[in-house]
Amino acid sequence: MEEFLTVHFWVAVGQIILIDVLLGGDNAVVIAMACRGLPPKQRFKGIMLGTAGAIVLRIVLIAFALTLLQVPYLKLVGATLLLWIGVKLMVPQEEGHSTMQTSAQLWTAVKTVIVADLVMSLDNVMAIAGAATTAGEQHQLILVIFGLMVSIPLIIGGSQLILKLMDRFPFIINLGGMLLGWIALTMAHTDPALVAHLPQGGLWHYALGLAGAALVLLLGTFFKRRMQRKPLPPA
């Protein structure tokens, strides 16, 4: 019990909470984009379930962080998934999806949130794991769980705010998709299998981020226009 009263422990707690707050913005954007197609009464439930699943997966990821981040091509595969999710979330649902059962829509949104967060967390968990080690090995998992629990209301509140903004200002959906594109290519840039073959440095990092954002915007816009040109189904 005395170990929980040490300065090192509470410094690590503060660091993890700060990291979760800063990184929670990405999660809030993805959750809001995935849940925006749900009926208003189902949105809060989708946010809660998506957040819970993402938090559990992040705890598991942190336990294996050092090993996972050294697996060649894992970040590249994750980046590809994230680009696809970014484009998919920018494209409005087809009319046929309006007849989909609410429960099916809900679980589709939850799965999208969990997959996206799983990919985005590959880099983020290292910062959390690093902060946890400062308090001693025996407290790492406790610290991680505590920090994530504190961040939950912030992520949920942020998701609800972004959802309201998306309803009022639809262009925010494009910004969210571009954010996922930025994260995707900057993550691929640090894949162990590619580091030796790609130029490194801050300039290249930002250039790839901009390229990823532009790629998602272009593809998302293309597919949106393509859907808009589709003939309406017969009444």
How far apart, in whole angstroms, are the C-alpha atoms of residue 60 and residue 128?
A: 12
How far apart, in whole angstroms, are the C-alpha atoms of residue 226 and residue 25?
A: 30
Q: Give me the pLDDT at residue 96, please.
A: 40
Q: Which tens digits make up the pLDDT trace of 73-99?
A: 888 888 888 898 889 888 876 544 444
How far apart, in whole angstroms, are the C-alpha atoms of residue 168 and residue 164?
A: 6
- Apex 120 CA angle, 49 and 97, nearest 5: 50
Q: Give me the pLDDT at residue 230, please.
A: 67
Q: Give me the pLDDT at residue 159, please.
A: 86
3 state DSSP class of 101? coil
- In one-letter notation, the amino acid at residue 187 is M
Whether 166 and 36 have beta carbons less than 8 Å apart is answered as yes
**What are the phi and psi torsion angles at 38 (to 5°)?**
-80, 155
How far apart, in whole angstroms, are the C-alpha atoms of residue 110 and residue 52?
A: 10
Q: Give me the pLDDT at residue 216, please.
A: 94
pTM for the structure as a whole = 0.72
Q: Give me the pLDDT at residue 95, please.
A: 42
Q: Give me the pLDDT at residue 97, please.
A: 42
Q: Which tens digits make up the pLDDT trace of 203-216?
A: 888 899 999 999 99
Whether 35 and 109 have beta carbons less than 8 Å apart is answered as yes
Q: Give me the pLDDT at residue 73, please.
A: 84
Q: Tell me which residue of 12, 54, 13, 17 sits closest to 32, measured CA to CA.
A: 54
Tell me how crowded residue 220 is: count the other CB atoms within 10 A of its CB: 21
Residues in the chain with pLDDT < 50? 1, 95-100, 235
Kindly give, in sequence order, each residue whose CB lies less than 8 Å from that of residue 97, ignoring residues fewer than 6 positions away. Answer: 37, 105
